[in-house]
Amino acid sequence: MNQSTTVASFLENKSILVTGGTGSFGKAFVRRILHDYNVRRLVILSRDELKQFEMQQEFPAANYANLRFFLGDIRDVDRLRRAFEGIDVVVHAAALKQVVAAEYNPFEFIRTNILGAQNIIDACLDTGVQRVVALSTDKAAAPINLYGATKLCSDKLFVAANNIRGDRDLRFSVVRYGNVMGSRGSVLPFFQDRKSTGSLPITDPEMTRFNISLAEGVDMVLWALENAEGGEILVPKIPSYRITDFAEAVCAECQKPVVGIRPGEKIHEEMITASDSCNTVDIGDYYVILGDGQKRDSYCERTGGTPVPAGFNYESGSNPEFLSVEQLRTLIAEHDAAKFQA
């Protein structure tokens, strides 16, 4: 992605806070910021003291004087207001994410993913925050499960928040992407755990998914922080894979029984629906779904983008780019090597 290599100079000497910063994305984002940027302060906000303790071992205070850890829950708006004091940039990565757990515990997901999102917005409006990027998911497009529905609501809240920012120097935007290679709860660690049994269960042989690396996800957030005008949902152009090819890449000799899809699962994932095509712009490495009040023609003039065709949709099953088994093996090996080095 050429655009994502843009240096996010806006971040220099800024104070940044990451909600859910002890998760897979948060740790990758923190490593990048500490390596590439001179920031005044980098704050990790999460509710798990053990994960914070473990992360502090990787980033000891003696070596990272500008790194702070803040215990708190995004369900608590007062705690967020205190955490956001003096913060310029918020990256919102905290969420409940397990599809099956959401079906069984729906209101817990609503409290975190929807009400928590509004708490983030309110705390940003009440403090001096200037840029907000919220992480979304492909499951938020035409959702069929509770998790996806809560993330769609979250997306709508962050996009609409630009309507009430007044004269504040404050922009809210969203990045939406697919499955992250090797992240917690993804198919790679599940298959690797099951590999020793000689059997990798396949939900449906037709199933496809988008694929993005953690590094590409971080690149995308950095690009949005530097370039987003506020109101956009940013979608990357990324390859798909077939679940059968992924299983083959993990263990060619393993049996691969078909066990059926779980509640709330799709055969193919979608990141842009045909209904969104009238508000979507192709800007090269990314698609941008524009928010209310953003005019497509003027946005194209400013960015050099082009409108997508009427009826366009972006779905993992019809994606023009698919990863081969060999490409998947290479990506898995690279992920495992990076995890070992970390």
**CATH code, 173:** 3.40.50.720
Backbone angles phi, psi at 229, to 5 degrees: -85, -15
Name the token pair of 291: 């928010």
Residue 214: is its pLDDT beyond 60? Answer: yes
Residue 7: is its pLDDT beyond 80? Answer: no
Which of 2 and 63 is assigned the larger pLDDT?
A: 63
CB 212 within 8 A of CB 177: yes
Predicted local distance difference test score (pLDDT) of residue 176: 97
The answer to whether residue 328 sits within a structural domain is no
The answer to whether residue 335 sits within a structural domain is no
Predicted local distance difference test score (pLDDT) of residue 2: 42
The answer to whether residue 254 sits within a structural domain is no
The answer to whether residue 28 sits within a structural domain is yes
Predicted local distance difference test score (pLDDT) of residue 184: 73
Residue 84: is its pLDDT beyond 70? Answer: yes
Which range marks the domain in which residue 171 is found? Answer: 3-177+213-236+273-315
- Region of 114 on the Ramachandran plot (φ > 0 left; ψ -120 to 50 alpha; else beta): alpha
* In the block, residue with structure tokens 């780019």: 321
Number of domains into which the chain is organized: 1
The answer to whether residue 99 sits within a structural domain is yes
Residue 178: is its pLDDT beyond 90? Answer: no
Residue 339: is its pLDDT beyond 80? Answer: no
Predicted local distance difference test score (pLDDT) of residue 3: 46
Q: Is 280 exposed, middle or buried (0-12, 13-18, 19+ CB in 10 A)?
A: buried
Name the token pair of 134: 């919220």
Tell me: the pLDDT tens digits for 28-59?
999 999 999 999 999 999 999 999 999 999 99
Confidence of residue 306 (pLDDT cuts 50, 70, 90): very high
Sorted by sequence, the CB contacts under 8 Å of residue 197 that are 6+ apart come out as: none
The answer to whether residue 184 sits within a structural domain is no
Annotated catalytic residue within 139, 156, 237, 339: 139
* In the block, residue with structure tokens 């790194």: 67
Least trusted range by pLDDT, from 35-39, 126-130, 331-335: 331-335
Residue 100: is its pLDDT beyond 70? Answer: yes
- Give the pLDDT mean for 109-115: 98
Can 139 be counted among the known catalytic residues? yes
The answer to whether residue 87 sits within a structural domain is yes
The answer to whether residue 320 sits within a structural domain is no
Residues forming beta bridges with residue 337, ordered by sequence position: none
Residue 141: is its pLDDT beyond 90? Answer: yes
The 3-state secondary structure of 85-101, one letter per residue = CCCCEEEECCCCCCHHH
Percent of the chain clearing pLDDT 90 (strictly above):
87
Residue 166: is its pLDDT beyond 80? Answer: yes
Name the token pair of 261: 């899809």
* In the block, residue with structure tokens 């697919």: 178
* In the block, residue with structure tokens 């959401």: 102
Residue 324: is its pLDDT beyond 90? Answer: yes
3-state class of 71 per DSSP? Answer: strand
> At 189, which helix (H) or strand (E)?
helix 187-194
Query: Going by DSSP bridges, is the β-strand pair 286-289/280-282 parallel, antiparallel, or unpaired?
Result: antiparallel
Confidence of residue 211 (pLDDT cuts 50, 70, 90): very high
* In the block, residue with structure tokens 């690279």: 334
Percent of the chain clearing pLDDT 70 (strictly above):
96
